[in-house]
Chain A
Amino acid sequence: MDADSDVALDILITNVVCVFRTRCHLNLRKIALEGANVIYKRDVGKVLMKLRKPRITATIWSSGKIICTGATSEEEAKFGARRLARSLQKLGFQVIFTDFKVVNVLAVCNMPFEIRLPEFTKNNRPHASYEPELHPAVCYRIKSLRATLQIFSTGSITVTGNLLCYCCGQIYPFVFESR
């Protein structure tokens, strides 16, 4: 998807999380009874609806807020969200599709070299935190972009947040030092 200065690194988006609102109150019970692809979690007060075409899972609250996860691209997320709203409309609710916002994007990126984690943590002290007893990856937080990167020793990096390509570009030189 995006190329770096020296090497072409492909960044695969694995998950896009978005929210939108239907400005109407939704009767969860009705959705649960009449939808073929829903799970009703009454104890928490939400309904999970899974769509197949863009493979997404949506959490529907009775206030009309819907969180949609599992899409593999932003357009797909929007498309899925609209489909969801359309199916709710068919069930009889007066749905208005507003406030669509992409909240979080997860992506995976692979570096062609391995990374020495202890060395990397030492060089990037405040941002990186490594706890081998707890998790095998280094957790690197970029506050300015509000992104979190998990860097594994095999060279694969999992990024969550917005503005992903930029993050990957930023982290590359640091990671390259500690190969």
Chain B
Amino acid sequence: MTGRVCRACGSTDIELDAARGDAVCTACGSVLEDNIIVSEVQFVENSGGGSSAVGQFVSLDGPGKTPTLGGGFHVNLGKESRAQTLQNGRRHIHHLGSQLQLNQHCLDTAFIFFKMAVNKSLTRGRKMTHVIAACLYLVCRTEGTPHMLLDLSDLLQVNVYVLGKTFLLLARELCINAPAIDPCLYIPRFAHLLEFGEKNHEVSMTALRLLQCMKRDWMHTGRRPSGLCGAALLVAARMHDFRRTVKEVISVVKVCESTLRKRLTEFEDTPTSQLTIDEFMKIDLEGECDPPSYTAGQRKLRMKQLEQVLSKQLEEVEGEISSYQDAIEIELENSRPKARGALANLSKDGSVEDTTSSIFGEEDAEDEELEAAASHMNKDFYRELLGGGSGSSDAVEIPEEGGHPLALESLLGPLPTAASLGISDSIRECISSPNRDPNASGDGELDLSGIDDLEIDRYILNEAEARVKAELWMRENAEYLREQREKEARIAKEKELGIYKEHKPKKSCKRREPIQASTAREAIEKMLEQKKISSKINYSVLRDLNSKGLDSPQRDDIRPTEKGSAKKLSWRRVVACRSGADPGTSVGKRLRPLVSTLPAKKAALGEAAFLNSPALGPELARPAAVLVESGPVSYQSEEVADEDDADEDDGEPCISALKMLGNNAYGCDGDDDDGF
């Protein structure tokens, strides 16, 4: 019963006859419907006497296959872009999945993931192979198959971390919690590859138990499961008298040799390793161990403490030595009047600043690189020594000189450590305290308090040094400079030949102030004020945009290359800025429903116009052949010229206008590598 009311008498008692296809009112007898379309299953009798249902299976994924009347045309002809994407995806999934030996159920699940991803536009800006690999790996994880991300990356020859990033994003966006990978899953697979023959099962069992011990002993958190598997299998194999070398295991498990060794040593540290084979089979140790990195950290701490103690002792020893040195120096003072000043200052345990400034005068007082100071002091000290020592006998000189390097270094040993700490702290204090007082950011003037000009002066090289540095840099970057010169030469040659095509580097979209406008027309006008205008657009038609609805676009007027490139830009901009400038999209949206396919591109151009960088000057003085790109839309002249400039400047592969005309407004296949 349809629940309808009869038109003539108002009764609700209506009888539907499916056989005749009529709806008749039983009260007054008027026929309400004739030839009703029914949705019933019909059966046809076969030649053998059985009956089968009439009908065709239609695919859920799209409009379905068009019947190929004239033979096999290309399968993708005449389908929507979305269907094409899905079909391509399905094909890739099957191709990859069969290489991984995944069953049909997994492949179907992967295809469902892929569909979800396409619906959420996660395929945009990513290579489709990456997305497909991520879908497949997601299925592997949820099903628990022993496939590693490494396998997938091997097949595709893609960096595993790139795949991992895509996979993580996919899992997050689809809100799918992939269960954590368990190394136990990999054991049967690797065991099979290592060919244990009959004892395969036993070895696997042993390896599993080993893994459980490892887990208990905190060896498995944060580690690659394959590495743990490798170690467990190696030990299990040895336990059952199988000879498997490290190299064999590595080739199966795909970890590095050093990793395997490390795991083995860590396992050695656990108490489980102390058991014999029989004991291991019977007993299960209950206690837990700390994770190896934790023990390593503790060991480091202990080493540090030891070092500190040692250094303290060293200091004490050095203190003794320095007292001896002092005695020697006093003697020297008596013998060498020239060096007295230096020595006297040195023997003082005062701050290094005074000594440096007094002796040399060039070094900055606040130089914290006391090694440099030390080396300077060494040099000058030797000079002074030699100068002073020429007077006395050689025999006295040499041991004293021999003694002095030691003296200096041991002197400077404890000195810098104490002095550097003392100095830097005090300096920082006195510098930072005036810092806190002055205003934070406000006026923009550079606050000079506490900044030491002298030190900064040292950063600036004088002329000779600058020349040396320039030469060094030239030599270092000779390759790059040569390439630049060749490039310039090439450009010059092309210019001569007249085929010069300038490839400007990509300019990023500049965000403009959003245009506040109440109607589409106002928005367009304001945008036109902002943007420079192009000669290609029929402006009178633009003004009529709001007034009437648009008819089918005039395609004949379009010059394929230029318009194609303009469309390409608009296309790219649309894709890139889909999440971006709202007024742009709102205007675009207002424009878009008014127009059909081609004008949709034009509207996208309108969007693009917002987003083009204003820096593009009206380079091309195109002849004012005002071109109607799409019937009603008209802009001012230079706009499209700018967009064309940007297009040519970008040097992306041009999609032909025809192809763009064939696609719908939303059918973007993720071919654009825009990034996200």
Contact = CB atoms under 8 A, between A and B. Distances in A.
B185 interface: no
Contacts of A71: none
A98 B291 contact: no
A155 B150 CA distance: 28
Interface in B639-670: none
Given A40-B473, A75-B432, A97-B445, A132 B225 contact: yes
Interface in A12-41: 23, 32-37, 40
A37 B455 CA distance: 12
Contacts of A153: 218, 221-222, 291, 293-294
A114 B218 contact: yes
B460 interface: yes
Interface in B425-445: 431-432, 435-436, 440-441, 444-445
A163 interface: no
Contacts of A23: 444
A75 B446 contact: no
B446 A96 contact: yes
A83 interface: yes
Interface string A92-109: 000111111000000000
Contacts of B187: none
Interface stretch (B34-42, B261-269, B464-472, B618-626): B464-472
A82 B431 CA distance: 12
A78 to B, nearest CB: 7
A152 B222 contact: yes
A136 B469 contact: no
Contact of A42 (B225, B461, B466, B477): B477
A112 B607 CA distance: 56
Interface stretch (B5-13, B118-126, B175-183, B201-209): B175-183
A83 B456 contact: yes
A89 B451 CA distance: 12
Interface string A133-166: 1101100000000000000111100000000000
B160 A134 contact: yes
26 contacts: A32-B469, A33-B469, A34-B460, A37-B459, A42-B480, A53-B368, A79-B435, A82-B446, A85-B446, A86-B453, A90-B453, A91-B460, A97-B446, A98-B444, A100-B440, A115-B221, A117-B222, A126-B175, A131-B167, A132-B221, A132-B222, A134-B161, A136-B222, A152-B293, A153-B294, A155-B294
Interface of A: 23, 32-37, 40, 42-43, 52-53, 75, 78-79, 82-83, 85-87, 89-91, 95-100, 114-118, 121-122, 125-126, 129-134, 136-137, 152-155
Given A133-B160, A153-B222, 10 more contacts: A23-B444, A79-B435, A82-B451, A96-B445, A100-B440, A100-B441, A117-B221, A118-B221, A132-B181, A132-B221
